[in-house]
Amino acid sequence: MEKNSKKTFYITTPIYYVNDVPHIGHAYTTIIADALARFQKLAGKAVFFLTGTDEHGQKIEKAAAEKGLTPKALADSVVGRARDLWKALDISYDFFIRTTMDFHEKGVQKLFQALVDRGDIYKGEYKGWYCVSDENFLPDDVPLEAEGYKTCPDCGKKASVVSEETYFFRLSAYRDKLLDLYEEHPEFVRPQSRLNEVASFVRAGLKDLSITRTTVKWGVPVPGDPKHTIYVWFDALHNYVTGVGYDWNPELFQKFWPADIHLVGKDILRFHAVYWPAFLMAAGLPLPRTVYGHGWWLKDDTKMSKSKGNVLDPQALLRVFGPDPLRYFLLREIPIGQDGNFSHEGFLHRVNSDLANDFGNLVQRTLTMIGNYFGGEITDPEEETAEDRKVRTDFEDLKRRVFGLYDACAISKALEEIWAYIGIVNKYLADNQPWIMAKDPARRRRLARVLLQAAAAIRGASYLVFPVMPGSAERIWGFLGEGKKPADVPYDGLEFGGFGSGRKVGMPQALFPRVALKDFLGEETAAPEAPPNVRQEQKKEGKEAMDIITYDEFKRMDLRVAHILEAERIPGATKLLKLVVDIGAEKRQMVAGIAETYAPEDLVGKKLIVIANLKPAVIRGVESQAMLLAAITADNMALIPFFDRDVPAGAVVK
């Protein structure tokens, strides 16, 4: 696409309703946009990142009345809190648009008038079922309930019949043009599966769209006919052009429009992939390159939303962890199109294991050793061996792949790759054992090389995580004595050797807090009631009655002594080892989450206890035919109970 080669990148989030402050679901969209914007800046593009608030319409009118406020006063207070939240999450937007801004209202009126002039807007009569909560007319095929009303298929609330004089947008005339657009530019809707949904909706036929209301006062007046206000979605969608200068800053508009990515939740994809391009075609404006529909964060398997009362407030997590762990978790846990289930347990697991153990420890150990053994300044390293060179070339390969993945919006995959590399560097240190080398003055130059290699790898990995965890990346670069910030280094200027000998490195301070679930719950129990997944946790921790089993039930488990014959890492899985064990009569292959506690070579020859009659499971593509027993510590280490004298493989344990 010709836009791709342009040196600009314009990304938007939806503008959020101001009936309440943003929750984790809204934060998710904004964090994705922020990471992509930061990446494109590193890629050398001039970036414009727009977010803001959707302040008109019946939903806001109603919410304000319930609180005894004017809609504008409600909007002002929510906007203040939203801006605070984005600041706390380190969101680097370029402009925050509010639909109550004067230039926006004028721009919307101008575009409305342009469509009237072209004959694409006409006056008529509308009668239909309307959902106030979603600000949307129900599709015709929604059935009537026995009680004589219709229920909104999106939010489940009762809809009401609205009959009024209205202006229609001639959407029906755009059916074929839209289908051509999807055909010629399949990247217009991503992911691909969503394109198919949108295209079949349009193929089924489009009705003209009612785009004004006489029943709603809180909205932009129709030019020349002020008893009508403009439908909130017509108003809101145009923020993407008014927010980038349409009708008030031609230079800015010229530079950035059309948008490269409109990031939206899948629930509002239709507005963006059907109505929005049709409005733009009617106005004769260029179309955005991509509308990207992301999945939802669920809580207890339902969409997190204010109306369902199951929202999580990001501020509680931000107070304990700061922005980066939440940013990392939300972006790592699921690829952008999919849904994810939010649990505190899942969050803490990622924070403790990926951030504190894998990455944080690596930084801590390496910098402490450079401080202790070299007074913070590595000098005179030995030449690179093949093993050292591999740490460098692996990084160069990683860098290329990660840049490609960020560019393709595959953030979760990019992080997975970076963490696989962090695993490689951790293994490099474990294999070289610099702490042993340090005892032997004859190996000082070798020690210098190993620590130099590890520090260069840390510097590189931090750069690669910068779009997702900007604050942590900057801090690590600071510890490493780097004069520049990651944001100042364009990605084609990032070299592994950019960290050379002779650099003065500081002592690290704690990077990622390691928080045990029970400590975190202490913070949470201040809330009136712990969320359900937390209650489950309390049960697991024995705060409620234990689940008693009978001896017969216990006897069903076939526990055996197993002799470890082989152990190896599973490529791409930082926590897993593949073991081959002898359980007496046969050999079994198993997958165990112990890679963070044990190196494969330390395990071969040892004997441990396995459950031999557990149903096999496939983990990361490898069949696991048994399970070992291990104690899990508060910081997620898995400690295996070994025997204090020899026992034959296959011996029964009971």
User: Which residues contribute to the site for ligand MSP (CB under 6 A)?
Assistant: 14-17, 25-26, 28-29, 54, 236-237, 239, 264-265, 267-268, 296-297, 303-305
Beta carbon of residue 341, minimum distance to ligand MSP (angstroms, whole number): 11
Cα distance between residue 456 and residue 495, in whole Å: 9
The residue whose two tokens read 């939802």 is 296
CB of 378 to ligand MSP, least distance (A): 45
Question: Do the bridges between strand 638-639 and strand 631-632 make them parallel or antiparallel, or are there none, so unpaired?
Answer: antiparallel
Residue whose C-beta lies closest to ligand MSP: 265
How far apart (Å, rounded) are the C-alpha atoms in residues 259 and 10? 5
Question: Please, are residues 71 and 58 in contact by the beta-carbon 8 Å criterion?
Answer: no
Q: Rounded CA gap, 584 and 332, in Å? A: 41
Q: Are 267 and 154 in contact, with CB atoms under 8 Å apart?
A: yes
Query: 279 or 359, CB closer to ligand MSP?
Result: 279
The residues with which 129 forms a beta bridge, in sequence order, are 161
Instruction: Give least dist CB 268 to ligand MSP, A.
Output: 5
Mutual angle of helices 361-374 and 411-432, in 10-degree steps:
40
Nearer to ligand MSP, 15 or 576 (CB): 15
- Return the closest-CA partner of residue 115 out of 205, 231, 215, 206: 231
Please, which residue, 131 or 448, has the CB nearer to ligand MSP? 131
DSSP 268: G
Q: Which two tokens stand for residue 230?
A: 């403009």
Q: How far is the CB of 339 from ligand MSP (least distance, A)?
A: 8
At its nearest, how many Å lie between ligand MSP and the CB of residue 302?
9
Shortest separation between residue 28's beta carbon and ligand MSP, angstroms: 5
Closer Cβ to ligand MSP, 286 or 490, answer by number? 286
Q: Which is nearer to ligand MSP, 17 or 499 (CB)?
A: 17
Taking the C-alpha atoms of 321, 322, 324 and 325 in order, what is their torsion angle to the nearest 10 degrees? 10
**Least CB distance to ligand MSP at residue 271 (A):** 7
| Minimum CB distance to ligand MSP smaller for 115 or for 480 | 115
Partnered with residue 46 across adjacent β-strands are: 8
Whose Cβ is closer to ligand MSP: residue 56's or residue 560's?
56
Who's near 285: CB < 8 A, 6+ residues apart?
Answer: 241, 257, 258
Closest CB to ligand MSP among 54 and 61? Answer: 54
CB-based contacts of 199, cutoff 8 Å, min separation 6:
179, 182
Distance CA 428, CA 394 (A): 12
In whole angstroms, what is the distance from residue 522 CA to residue 525 CA?
A: 5
**Minimum gap (Å) between residue 624 Cβ and ligand MSP:** 33
Least Å from the CB of residue 194 to ligand MSP: 13
Q: Is 126 helix (H, G, I), strand (E, B) or coil?
A: strand
**Which CB sits closer to ligand MSP, 304 or 456?**
304
Q: How far is the CB of 17 from ligand MSP (least distance, A)?
A: 4
Pairwise CA distance, residues 60 & 98, whole Å: 13
Question: Measured at the alpha carbon of residue 548, what is the angle toward residues 546 and 554, in degrees to the nearest 5?
Answer: 135
Cβ closer to ligand MSP: 304 or 363? Answer: 304
H or E segment and range at residue 415 = helix 411-432
The phi and psi torsions of 163 (rounded to 5 degrees) equal: -130, 120
Whole-Å CA distances, 523 to 27, 322, 344: 21, 15, 12
> Which CB, 233 or 479, lies closer to ligand MSP?
233
Q: How many CB atoms lie within 10 A of CB 200?
A: 9
Nearer to ligand MSP, 75 or 304 (CB): 304
- Least distance (Å) between residue 135 CB and ligand MSP: 8
Task: Specify the residue for token string 């599966």.
Answer: 193
Shortest reach from residue 297's CB to ligand MSP, in Å: 4
> What is the spatial distance between Cα 411 and Cα 230, in angstroms, rounded to a whole number?
37
